[in-house]
Each structure stands twice: as structure tokens, then as C-alpha cells.
Structure 1
Amino acid sequence: MPAVDMIGYHNLLPNPLVMVNNGHTVAINIPKLTEVEKANGDFIPYVRGAKLPGEFEVESVHFHWGDKNNRGAEHVINDIRYTMEMHIVHRNTKYASLADALEFADGAAVLGFFFNLDEDDSLGLTAICRHLHLIPEANDAMNLTITFALSSLIANVDVDKFYTYKGSLTTPPCSEAITWVLYPDPIPISPKQIARFRQLQDTQDGALVDNFRQLQSIGNRRVFMRNGNNKHAFVEALKKELDYKKWDWYN
């Protein structure tokens, strides 16, 4: 299985980035390009490769976190549930909008990254955390005065190693339209940074925490793993016509 190609992830995202507390999560929405920007050769970052059925353009970034440090992520890796999980949401470019794409099994792809509590700050989250106090209540939104590259959020992650499977959105309407790609190498997040997320309010005037979906049964899904650091073993597996590893996870 080839790696995921992240095209334009080192480019600065277009302005203005809109950060919103929607009562369920913090989301950063990526604006669409103008016709002038497209004519100048600008493009929205996109991904392809692995088992992705097409090319997928970035739509938004959002986060899931817990009230306690031992929960927050929506996926469990080897019985570990990390402090926070970040989702970079992409739309299949064959569809005009994300809403349209979610009507189809090949409509969207989500790249998931984990954050583990550490004494060090996540440098990629610095600018985001600095603005969280400006969206304290549900439905608060603001235009960020800065921009950044998606690569800055995932610095030092081994992007050659990942899990992938066909699944659903983890928020309503939970559409069965998502190709998931999960990178198991965690990114550090400091106590000060996660505390800024936990200070936000939800739609019920309570703390916006534990915004992750209950763990679901794997059902009949196959989870594929790519281990980029084990190339020799991977070649041997290919010689034996075993081009995937099947992992059975249950809650």
C-alpha cells in the first residue's frame, strides 16, 4: 500500500481562516479560493494515495478532547486512548460540496492525529491555543489574523506509518462516507494547552469536554496497516501475496 501524498500541506492556508466553537468542538474552516487565486495557480491542499478512492481537498480541521488526561481521542490504539485527537477533513474533489459528498461512500476522507500529554507544548498548536479565549461560548466564531501550513500541526509525525479503514462520521448524521487514515505516533500537548480547550463552553452552558463518540464495534470492517519503518518485512509479505495485515479491534 503506498503512502498518503499530502499535496500542498507545506503551503500557507488561504485567508481568512475562520475558527468557531460550534458547541461540540473547535473547528477551523478553510475558505474557498477565488477565481483570481485559481488563475494564479493557487490551490487548496489535498491528499491522494494509500486506499483513498480519488483526490480529496481539505475542508476543515477540528478536535476531540476529554475532561481527564486519559481520554479524549475517538480511536483507541493498542488499548490506549490519548488526550486529544485532531481530524483534518477532506472532500472528494468529484463532489461540489462536503454536504453532497457525504451522500456517497467515497465522499470524504479524514486524517486523524493523536495528542499525548507532555511537559512540552505542541508548537503547531501555539497559534490556535492563543486564540481560544476569543471563542469561549457555543456559536462564537472569529477570523484568525494569522495563517499556517497544515504540516506545522503534524511536525515530527511519521506519516509513512498509518492505519486505514472505511467508516463513518463520528458526529451526526454519522454518514458511512469516510475513508479514515490514522497516524499512531502521538504529538505532545502540554497541560497548559489542553486546559485552554477545556475552558470552552458547550451549547448547554457546561464545559465543552468529552466530545468524543462512544467506541463502536468494528463489525465486518477491515483495518489495514502500513508500517513505513519495516520496509524489508513489508517486501517479504508482498512476496507471499500478503499485501495487508488485518487487525480485529473490539470495544
Structure 2
Amino acid sequence: MIKKENYFLIFSLLFVRTVSVSSFGYSKRQQHMWSQEFKKCDGNLQSPIALSTKKSVRLPLPALEMNGYHDFLFQPLSLKNNGHSVSLNFEKNKIKNKRSPFIFGGLLNINQEYELEGLHFHWGRKNDRGSEHSLNGVRYPMEMHIIHRNMAYPKMENAMVNVDGLAVLGIFFQLQDNDNENLKPLSQNLPSIRWIDNQISLNTSITLSSLLPNDIDTFYTYRGSLTTPPCSEAVTWIIFSTPVPISFRQMNQFRILSNGEDILADNYRKLQKLGKRKVYLRKLIQNYSSYYNQFDVNVTSLDWYWQ
């Protein structure tokens, strides 16, 4: 027979275990502890990284194709404060006769398509930080991630254990005085999700293309990981060099959110070691078409790592 105090001990251990798995923090100490619970967080292909134009391999890579990005995202759409970020989600099983947006091209697997799963943001408490990746020494105040699953894998849990399972678009945000009208469907609803686990349904229409930078032809791409636990090394990153504008007022609307204990901000991971990984840069140049014809890239022969 189990004594009453032992019941309490078992309950306490189960409670601590549940909290430790479902929660994590962004302080220096907390990030250091991630790998104790999630071994992949100490892997060799971790993200984010410091991107450098000079250290990237510049090639005339195929364009990234985006299907359905100009269509209005189907309802129901929901905006949620999950304590770690703000996420935009939709319920695929309620969609009939309409396909989710998907991407292909670039250095993604030939003849494979990656379907939209959702998007979220990372931002700083102050304007000199917030983005997860840095570009040429600059850390922007916010970065958005649009997550896609390789349709060769039926579910996210399958995709997350394969090196080619996910493709994530990274978009930087740069401050300006005037509001970005395209962001208003999201930013104006942030006060409604101020507290952790608050979620609202959006009754406004939005397209993914409206959230992208003007230049989507220039991007960096490399093999990496999720930037939050479990840090699965399953991501092909595609990061646009041109930022999206956001006003000071809109940026501050993100900073009114709560994570349950404090302001929800500085929710970005420290930079990880690049190691032997290659970073490719697709950048159009003058007279690009003739250059491309002279240097036709066989993407299947490109290696993601230095030997």
C-alpha cells in the first residue's frame, strides 16, 4: 500500500516532468539547459546562424516557387500567444476542394513540394535585437518563420525526424515611421492575445505574399534545425536578404504581450556554430540570363557540407 506522502511525491515528479517537457525559456542559462532535455539541441546542424555574404557560396540557383501565396488564406485562421511566440494557424481538415499553399524549387528536393504548416515570430525587447539569424553582423528587431512540411511525409512528427522534412522561410523586419498596412490584420489583433494561451479567430483576409519582402529572388539557404526544442535537424532554411518594413508602433504592439511571468520578448535563440556547413546565396546579377546559360547549375550535385 502506497502511503499518502508517496502519492504526493509521485504527483510532484509527474508535474515537474510535464512542465519541463512543455516549457522552455530564452535566458542564457535556460538555453544552455535545452540539450539536457532535448539531445538534438547540442547537435552539429543547429540554427540560427550568422549569415555572411562574403562567406556564402554565390550561385545562380533555381528560383523558389510559391503556389497559393497570392490567394487569401482560408478560414478559420487563428492568432495565438503560446507563451513563446505569436503564431498564425489554420485547420486543414476543415478545408474542402482547396489546397494549402506550398513551395518548391531553390535547393529543395527535386520533384518534391513543401506544404504550409503555419508561421510565427521572434522579436526583441529593444530595437537592436530580436531576429534569430543575423546578416552581415546585423540583428534585426524581428524575424518571421513560415514553416512548410515535405509532403513526402504525412505528418509533422514524421517530417521532423528526416533531414529533408521541413523548409522554413525566414523573413527579417526593419523599422520605419509609418505603419505597414499589410501587417495590420495581425498587429491590430495583438491586444486581444495579450496573455499566455489567449487565442482569437481572425475575421480578416490575408495573403502570405503580403507578408513577404519585395525581393524574393535573393535568398540564403542552408541545412539546419528548428530554433526551439526539440531542435530537430530537419530544416532547409531559406532566408530572404531584403527585410519587410514595420513601424515603431507596430513593433511595440508585440512587446505588450506576456509569457505568463514577464514581457514576451527576446524570444530568440543564440547563434549556433556553422561548422562544416555551406551557405548558398542566390542573387540575381545584371545580364543574369546569359550568365545563367553559361553556368547551368545541377542542383542535385551540390553538397550541403564542406569536405
* Superposition TM-score, scaled by structure 1 size: 0.89
Contact preservation (8 Å) 1:19, 1:142? yes
Q: Which position in structure 1 is the counterpart of 2:136?
A: 78
Which residue of 214, 221, 242 maps to 1:157?
Answer: 214
Q: Which position in structure 2 is the counterpart of 1:184?
A: 241
CA 151–67 in structure 1, closer or farther in 2 if over 3 Å, else same: same
Alignment pair present for 1:116 and 2:171:
no
Q: Which position in structure 2 is the counterpart of 1:101?
A: 159
* Superposition TM-score, scaled by structure 2 size: 0.73
Mean CA deviation greater in 235-244 or 130-139: 235-244
Structure-1 separation of matches of 2:93 and 2:71: 14
Contact preservation (8 Å) 1:17, 1:147? no
**What SS does structure 2 have at the residue aligned with 1:185?**
coil
Structure-2 separation of matches of 1:225 and 1:32: 33
Higher helix share: 2
Structure-2 separation of matches of 1:44 and 1:224: 28
Which residue of 223, 231, 243 maps to 1:166?
Answer: 223
The offset of 1:99, in angstroms, is 2.2
The offset of 1:165, in angstroms, is 0.4
Structure-1 separation of matches of 2:290 and 2:221: 19
Question: % of aligned pairs identical?
Answer: 42
The offset of 1:242, in angstroms, is 7.9
Q: How does 1:192-231 map to 2 (within 5 A)?
A: 192-203=249-260, 205-228=261-284, 230-231=285-286
Amino acid across the alignment from 2:72: L
Amino acid across the alignment from 1:118: Q
Amino acid across the alignment from 1:44: S
Asked which structure has the greater RCO (Cα within 8 Å, sep 6+), the reply is: 2
Q: Which position in structure 1 is the counterpart of 2:65?
A: 5
Structure 1 unaligned spans of 5+ = 247-251
Structure 2 unaligned spans of 5+ = 1-60
Structure-2 separation of matches of 1:233 and 1:8: 27
Which residue of 108, 118, 130 maps to 1:52?
Answer: 108
The offset of 1:234, in angstroms, is 8.0
The offset of 1:30, in angstroms, is 2.4
Amino acid across the alignment from 2:191: H
Structure-2 separation of matches of 1:15 and 1:240: 44
CA 221–235 in structure 1, closer or farther in 2 if over 3 Å, else same: farther
Structure-2 separation of matches of 1:166 and 1:75: 13
The offset of 1:233, in angstroms, is 6.1
The offset of 1:134, in angstroms, is 0.7
Q: How does 1:118-157 map to 2 (within 5 A)?
A: 118-154=176-212, 156-157=213-214
Structure-2 separation of matches of 1:55 and 1:220: 27
The offset of 1:239, in angstroms, is 3.9
Name segments (4+ residues, structure 1) moved above 2 Å. Answer: 231-246
Q: Which position in structure 2 is the counterpart of 1:249?
A: none
Amino acid across the alignment from 1:161: T
The offset of 1:69, in angstroms, is 0.4
Amino acid across the alignment from 1:165: Y
Q: Which position in structure 1 is the counterpart of 2:124?
A: 66
Across the two proteins, how many residue pairs are aligned to each other? 240
